[in-house]
Amino acid sequence: MKVIHYKEVEPKYYETETAKNAWGRVVIGQADGAKNFCMRVFELHENGSSDFHQHDWEHEVFVHSGHGAVLINGDTVELGPGSVVFIPSGQEHQLKNTGKEPLVFVCVIPSGAPEL
């Protein structure tokens, strides 16, 4: 069993052509013996965004705090605390922070996908 506060995991900064002001933490993953899923907590700071991408696996997102939007298949949907997003495999998507405070969200992916 593992019980921690997510901030106990050191965040890793990542930036690509389309991702900026983005930090991620693998809070439960292969190193913990998780065989089926990986749980990550992301923080997108002001004007931050995740990578605009698609992949072969689905994932689920829960917004903990902040305000933002998800772009998926050409549509933009506003997000806030408590929002839940299901992103099917193969769909291009990106999350963006639209507020001043960090957009903090949990993202669950299947084991075997790149953890971060």
Q: Are 99 and 67 in contact (CB under 8 A)?
A: yes
* pLDDT tens track, the chain, 116 positions: 999 999 999 999 989 999 999 999 999 999 999 999 999 999 999 999 999 999 999 999 999 999 999 999 889 999 999 999 999 999 999 999 999 999 999 999 999 899 98
Q: Report the pLDDT value the prediction gives residue 73, as an integer from 0 to 100.
A: 85
Assess if residue 116 is contained within a domain: no
With beta carbons less than 8 A apart as the criterion, state whether 57 and 113 touch. Answer: yes
How far apart are alpha carbons 77 and 82 in whole angstroms? 14
Ranges assigned E (strand) in 1-49: 12-14, 20-28, 37-49
Q: d(Cα 62, Cα 81) in Å, to the nearest integer?
A: 8
Is residue 42 domain-resident? yes
Provide the residue range defining the domain that includes 101: 11-110
Is 64 contained in some domain?
A: yes
Instruction: Write down the pLDDT at residue 86.
Output: 97
Task: Give the pLDDT confidence score for residue 45 in this predicted structure.
Answer: 98
pLDDT at 2: 97
Domain count, the chain: 1
